[in-house]
Amino acid sequence: MTGNSHHGANLGGSRFAQGDERQAVGSAAYAPSHRAAASKPERRRGRGPLIALGVLLLVVAVAYGAGVVLFSNACYPNTVIADVDVSLMMRDTAVSRVKTSAEGYRLTIEGDGFTWQFDPESASEVIDAGAAVAAVIDGNEPFIWPARLVQALQSEPAEGAVKSTEDGEEDVELDDIALPDSFDRDAFLEELGAALDAYNATRTGTFDAAGAYDAEAGMFTLSKARSNQKLDAASIERAALMAISTLDDTVTLDEQSFVPLANGASEEQVQAAIDAANELIGTDVDLKMGGNVVATLDGSTFVQWMTFDENLTPTLTTEPLTAWVHELAVSKLDTIGCERTYTRPDGKSVTVSGGTYGWNSNEAELVKLLQDAVANKQVGEVDVPTLQNAATWTAKGERDWGAYCDIDLTEQHVRYYDAAGTLVWESGCVTGNPNEGDATPTGVYILNAKRQNETLIGFDEDKDGEPDYKSPVAYWMPFVGNAIGLHDATWQPAAYFSNPQAYTWAGSHGCVNLPLDKAAELYNLIQVGDCVIVHP
């Protein structure tokens, strides 16, 4: 029994012990599960950044790949092709836009009076849109697109596939300017060159006094000097091709478009020379004759006497003044003997030359007056000194007389008109016999004298020691020296004074014969100094 009880006790103890072991085992088994549950969030927090980094790298990789794909077939921001903004455009879209922009393109080159236009027949003549876009995209370097993109975003819109017209343009060779094969450079340059040559043909291309003097301003000016500059063909041809390459529609000429004046002197040096020249031309005088201004001595005249040396120093010489005065006298002032044309009050038009009537300037005295005017930079008026005056001053070749006696050799008639052109007196006459070599000389003369009861004594042409004739006259009015004049001729039959042919057989030795009563009337009307015109 005891053994059984012991056994039972052992068994009971054993069960307890086992129960404790189970409990212990159960506790042991449970405890690790609690520790595992406590440590799991820590492991997740450690992997989170790695996951985020992986996601970021994936996004970057996808974005980079997308950028590579995009910029293998698209333009960067701020890209301009032929004046068309093609930023972020795909290839085909960019080509279409460039083509559209090129339709109707026309280039105008203008400035300083020069205008020339180039009107291509089609857009393909001035740009190959496909090649231009391809050149831009082919240069994109898509595998480094991020850096290129940042660079593009930070820059101003830039021309793609075409050389810039602002960066080193003067160093660009014409053949290096990007233009399509369909563009005929030679024909273009030939037409432009012809227009430039025509423009330059009117300009001297040099700096001199004549070219720098502005007559309206009355002084030398830089703008007038520059008006003689020739266009720089090479520079303009380059600018024109550059404009076409970018489809710019205008080339505006400026100072750089012209060949420099005075062997490359700067604008400041030319201006200094002009200022110095203006200091030398202070004289401004009007020359007057008969109360009328006949010439002006000012800068426009001095410019003919001014030169600039190699240092652009102006020199004014007055030696040409004598020649200038002489030319003025011959061409304008002196009218004695010149051909004149006038219309007689009865309507007959008369042209006659020769004679002694008219203006005769005193050239030597005028030179002295003008030399003083130049030395003193005189401003005002100078009366032209004369050796002989006419009644009025007019343009050379016109009527410069007042009252006059008109002797018509064809009509054999004499008329006297007052200064207003009113017929005051007239008479038939007998003039010199042309068949005997005694024709009355034609010309515009001065009535030299009026004398009564004179005896006209001829020359001794027959060499007999006696005058060929001695003719007493009551009224003597000479106009060619004291040898030929108007006078009464009582020895002429009265009928001859009404016969226009009588002078051919009964003509005088050159004088104008009048009836006695008519000679008396004229004598009382005409004045010494009046004009006497003898004409056919």
**Catalytic sites, residue numbers:** 487, 511
CB 145 within 8 A of CB 74: no
Separation of alpha carbons 2 and 532, rounded Å: 200
Separation of alpha carbons 364 and 103, rounded Å: 73
Sequence length of the chain is 536
Strand order in the sheet with 107-111: 114-118, 107-111, 250-252
Residue among 91, 242, 84 at smallest CA distance from 160? 84
H or E stretch covering 349: strand 349-352
Q: What is the 3-state secondary structure (H, E, C) of 290-339?
A: CCEEEEEECHHHHHHHEEECCCCCEEECCCHHHHHHHHHHHHHHCCCCCC
The secondary structure of residue 426, as a DSSP letter, is E
CB 338 within 8 A of CB 323: no
**Maximum CA pair distance of the chain?**
227
Beta bridge partners of 306: 316
Separation of alpha carbons 115 and 236, rounded Å: 12
Separation of alpha carbons 494 and 515, rounded Å: 7
| Straight-line distance from the first to the last Cα atom of the chain, in angstroms, rounded to the nearest whole number | 201
